[in-house]
């Protein structure tokens, strides 16, 4: 599943995975989990993450290989947040065949509106949105009463930069997969479309392309 930061990839991927009874492989979640559990792998990657650098391709490929090994022989899987580079896509080709690319098209102003109004509790990490999911008292967490803050990389100017990076990374990948996989384009032109509607559209497209029953 491809989509810009703030498009809701993680949410949709997990809804689709449970609906289709397939596995969800989110490399970002796995990386955070390995670091939290301080595993051998976690120790290897923590420095890259702390410095804000990308985790090297060979390590991420290894993570994906292990995850797909765990589920081989089952119904399949959905990847979100991977591959990000042509090198990763080529490595993935040696592991598994990808049937379909689901691309979430979300206009820049929608992403900026969604991310720039996001607020996070400094203590418990609860996520709010000052437009769509307001706390009961402005600037204060409902759950624990602590202050809410805006993540540095959710500020409009930083979001614009993240979107540029995403565009530059993704465009070559889309051409890479052009002849290798089915394409499903889902346009999300408004922040108010319920996730359930998006999922219905994706399932419909998968059926049309005979990828699911």
- Is residue 121 involved in binding Zn ion (CB under 5 A)? yes
**Annotated catalytic residue: which of 65, 155, 162, 201?**
162
- The span from the CA of 121 to the CA of 139, in Å, is 9
Q: In this structure, what token pair is assigned to residue 186? A: 């889902």
Across the chain, the runs of DSSP E, i.e. the strands, are 23-26, 77-80, 100-105, 118-121, 127-129, 148-149, 182-187
- Number of residues that this document lists for the chain: 213
**Annotated catalytic residue: which of 74, 118, 146, 164?**
118
User: Is 37 a known active-site residue?
Assistant: no
Residue among 55 and 141 whose Cβ is closer to Zn ion? 141
- Is residue 122 involved in binding Zn ion (CB under 5 A)? no
Tell me the angle at which helices 86-95 and 57-71 cross, rounded to the nearest 10 degrees.
30
Taking contact as CB under 5 A, which single stretch among the options 18-26, 112-120, 124-132, 193-201 is the one that binds Zn ion? 124-132
User: From the list 49, 71, 95, 126, which residue makes contact with Zn ion (rule: CB under 5 A)?
Assistant: 126
Contact between 56 and 48 under an 8 Å Cβ cutoff? The reply is yes
Site map (CB under 5 A) of Zn ion, residues 71-110, x = contact: ----------------------------------------
Site map (CB under 5 A) of Zn ion, residues 135-154, x = contact: ------x-xx----------
- The span from the CA of 29 to the CA of 6, in Å, is 15
Residue 135 CB, shortest distance to Zn ion, in Å, is 9
Q: Phi and psi (nearest 5°) for 11? A: -60, -50
User: Is 201 a known active-site residue?
Assistant: no
Residue 115 CB, shortest distance to Zn ion, in Å, is 20
Query: Which one-letter DSSP state was computed for residue 132?
Result: T
- The span from the CA of 129 to the CA of 113, in Å, is 10
Strand partners, 149: 120
Residue among 86 and 122 whose Cβ is closer to Zn ion? 122
User: From the list 54, 124, 133, 174, which residue makes contact with Zn ion (rule: CB under 5 A)?
Assistant: 124
Catalytic residues: 9, 84, 118, 151, 162
Q: Which residues bind Zn ion (CB under 5 A)?
A: 121, 123-124, 126, 141, 143-144
């Amino acid at each position: 599943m491809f989509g810009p930061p703030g498009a809701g990839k993680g949410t949709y991927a997990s809804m689709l995975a449970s609906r289709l009874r397939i596995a969800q492989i989110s490399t970002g979640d796995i990386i955070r989990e390995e670091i939290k559990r301080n595993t051998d792998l976690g120790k290897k990657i923590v420095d890259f993450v702390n410095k804000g650098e990308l985790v090297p391709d060979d390590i991420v490929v290894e993570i994906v290989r292990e995850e797909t090994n765990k589920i081989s022989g089952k119904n399949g899987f959905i990847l979100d947040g991977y591959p990000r580079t042509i090198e990763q896509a080529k490595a993935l080709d040696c592991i598994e065949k990808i049937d379909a690319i689901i691309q979430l098209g979300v206009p820049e102003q929608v992403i900026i509106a969604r991310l720039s109004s996001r607020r996070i509790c400094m203590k418990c990490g609860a996520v709010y949105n000052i437009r769509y999911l307001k706390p009961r008292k402005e600037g204060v967490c409902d759950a624990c009463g602590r202050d809410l803050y805006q993540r540095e990389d959710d500020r409009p100017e930083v979001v614009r930069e993240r979107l540029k990076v995403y565009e530059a990374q993704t465009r070559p990948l889309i051409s890479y997969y052009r002849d290798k996989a089915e394409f499903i384009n889902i346009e999300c032109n408004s922040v108010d479309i319920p996730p359930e509607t998006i999922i219905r559209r994706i399932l419909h497209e998968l059926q049309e392309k005979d990828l699911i029953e």
